[in-house]
Each structure stands twice: as structure tokens, then as C-alpha cells.
Amino acid sequence: MRSKIVAGNWKMNLSSVEISKLVKEVANQIIEGEISSDTKIVFGPAFPYLALVREILDSFHLGNILLAAQNCSEIDSGARTGETSVGMLKDVGCDLVIIGHSERRKFHKESNELLKLKVDKSLEHGLPVIFCIGETLEEREQEKLFEVIESQVSEALFHLSAEDLSKIVLAYEPVWAIGTGVTASPEQAQEMHQFIRLLIDKKYGFEVSDKMSILYGGSVKPANAAELFSKPDVDGGLVGGASLKSGDFFEIIKAI
Ligand code: 13P
């Protein structure tokens, strides 16, 4: 059975005091709420707080809560002011790295070609990846959504071996649903997730596609999480705004 995952991407939000409070509250709720250990929970703080979150998580000894960075460099070290290498992420205890978020694609002009290099670098260092894909509203309206998703997946990932691909979690995040309060309907999410799984199936076979976790992201809230997660190809969520409040995030975790 593939992993169920609820990941919080905090983006450029929260202070150290807010983070300490949030992580402890969610961890305590997980202990008390008896969430299945098969469900993986992910926290994705900004770079300066990765070590802090690691330290708090270690004090709880909960193996199913993982730490993710929001980005990484495609090279190992050197003259790249402001960048962070995968080796550094491993050094501070990251379990995962988010690559290809639409905000990185848009504001930092990250191309499929560059993202491919970042994926390769992460896997070279043994750091599993949450790889984000998603179409814009314009692309959806022009009925180019399947074409766009296919090229995002194939150009950045289809050079990988089946073994390496199994270290990737995909996150389908339609750009028009991110931070807008407009969620894809459960049917729209299922339609795309099924399409993505079929793409993986065609290239790598059923064994690989059946095991791949595909998360949905874009205005996931306590009110819509259960319906989205009930779809057969939706294996969890990548949550922005609603992951910043422990109560909301825990409600979403419970929905899985
Ligand atoms: P929101 O949940 O705030 O729409 O953000 C989704 C997202 O971008 C997660 O990576």
C-alpha cells in the first residue's frame, strides 16, 4: 500500500516562537489522537528554522513526522550566494526536500531542466523529494492542462530509474488553487491524479505507479480535506495556509 502523507509547506511564514508552539501542539495532538503510524506528517519550515524543528521533533520520538526543506541547490558547494546545498539539508537533519513548487517556477524562473538537476542532486545524496507540478488557470482554460503536466513530469523525472523514481512523492498543485481559496473539486483532482498515475504506469509499469504517493495541494482546508482524500488516487495533501494553525492542520491530518 502506498503511503498516506499530509505535508505542511509553511513557505516564508512563522517566527521561531510560533514554530515551537505549532510543532509541539501538532505533535501532542498526534500522540493523543492516535494517528496511524502509516500516515506520514511533514513540516516544511523556511531554512533558518530547519534545525529548530529537527530538535523539537527529535524530543517527541515520533517516527512518522518528517522534516522537509522547501528548496535546494543543484550543485554541491561553492560560489552561490544565498543558496543551500542538499548536503547542508542532510547535515541539519532533513528527511525530504520540496522541489519544483510553482512559486519557485514563477518567481525564480525555475525550468524543468533546472528542476531535473535538483532532483538528481537530491537523490545522489539520498534525500527523497516531494516534486510539485501544476497548470496555470490560462493553461487549464486553453485545455493544455494534461500536456503541461505531462511535460513537467517527463522532462524532470523520466530519466530516472524505477528505483530512484520510487523515492519521489508527487504533489499536484494547480496554480489557480494555491492561496486563492478556490480548491480543485474532488473530481478535478481525481481526474488529474489518475492521469499522472497512468503516465507513470506507461513508462515504469503498474508496480511502480501503484506505489507512488500523489498529493493534492491548493487551498486544502479542514472543510474540504476529507472529500479530496476520499478519492482513490489522492494519497494526501500538500498544505499551505491551513498548515500554519495547529487546529486546522490537525483536522486535515485526521481527515486522512
Ligand atoms: P495553500 O494551501 O495556501 O493554497 O498553498 C498550497 C501550496 O502551495 C502548498 O505547497
Q: Which of 9, 221, 249 to mutate to test the pocket of ligand 1 (most atoms within 8 A of CB)?
A: 9
Residue bearing cell 498548515: 243
CB-facing half-sphere around the CA of 6: CA atoms within 13 A:
26
Q: What is the DSSP-derived secondary structure letter of residue 47?
A: G
CA of residue 181 to ligand 1 center, whole Å: 10
* Predicted pLDDT at 33: 75
Q: Does ligand 1 lie within 6 Å of residue 179's CB atom?
A: yes
Q: How far is the C-alpha of 213 from the C-alpha of 41, rounded, in Å?
A: 13
Q: How far is the C-alpha of 41 from the C-alpha of 30, rounded, in Å?
A: 9
CA of residue 241 to ligand 1 center, whole Å: 6
Q: How far is the C-alpha of 147 from the C-alpha of 19, rounded, in Å?
A: 39
CA of residue 68 to ligand 1 center, whole Å: 15
* Predicted pLDDT at 32: 85
Q: Which of 104, 105, 173 to mutate to test the pocket of ligand 1 (most atoms within 8 A of CB)?
A: 173
Which amino acid is residue 244, in one-letter code? L
Cα separation of the two ends of the chain:
14
* Predicted pLDDT at 1: 74
The distance between the two most distant Cα atoms of the chain, rounded to a whole number of Å, is 50
* Predicted pLDDT at 115: 98
Q: Which residues are catalytic?
A: 101, 173
127: closest CA among 165, 160, 89? 89
Burial letters 103-139, b for 16+ CB under 10 A, else e: bbbeeeebebebbbebbbbbbeeebbbbbbbbbbeeb
Number of domains in the chain: 1
User: What is the residue range of 69's domain?
Assistant: 4-255
Q: How far is the C-alpha of 36 from the C-alpha of 253, rounded, in Å?
A: 10
Q: How many CB atoms lie within 10 A of CB 237?
A: 30
Atom of ligand 1 nearest to the CA of 132: 10
Atom of ligand 1 nearest to the CA of 217: 6
Which CATH number does the domain housing residue 83 bear?
A: 3.20.20.70
Q: Which of 99, 104, 219 to mutate to test the pocket of ligand 1 (most atoms within 8 A of CB)?
A: 219
Atom of ligand 1 nearest to the CA of 219: 4
**Closest C-alpha residue for ligand 1 atom 7:** 240
CA of residue 216 to ligand 1 center, whole Å: 9
Q: Does ligand 1 lie within 6 Å of residue 238's CB atom?
A: yes
Q: Does ligand 1 lie within 6 Å of residue 240's CB atom?
A: yes
Residue bearing cell 509541539: 24
Partnered with residue 68 across adjacent β-strands are: 96
CA of residue 218 to ligand 1 center, whole Å: 5
Can you give the pLDDT of all 256 residues of the chain as single tens digits? Answer: 799 999 999 999 999 999 999 999 999 998 887 777 789 999 999 999 999 999 999 999 888 999 999 999 999 999 999 999 999 999 999 999 999 999 999 999 999 999 999 999 999 999 999 999 999 999 999 999 999 999 999 999 999 999 999 999 999 999 999 999 899 999 999 999 999 999 999 999 999 999 999 999 999 999 999 999 999 999 999 999 999 999 999 999 999 9
Partnered with residue 43 across adjacent β-strands are: 8, 67
Please check whether residue 99 is in contact with residue 117, taking contact to mean a CB–CB distance below 8 angstroms.
no
Helical H runs in the chain? Answer: 16-33, 50-60, 86-91, 102-107, 112-124, 137-141, 145-157, 162-165, 186-204, 206-211, 222-229, 246-255
The counts of H helices and E strands in the chain are 12, 8
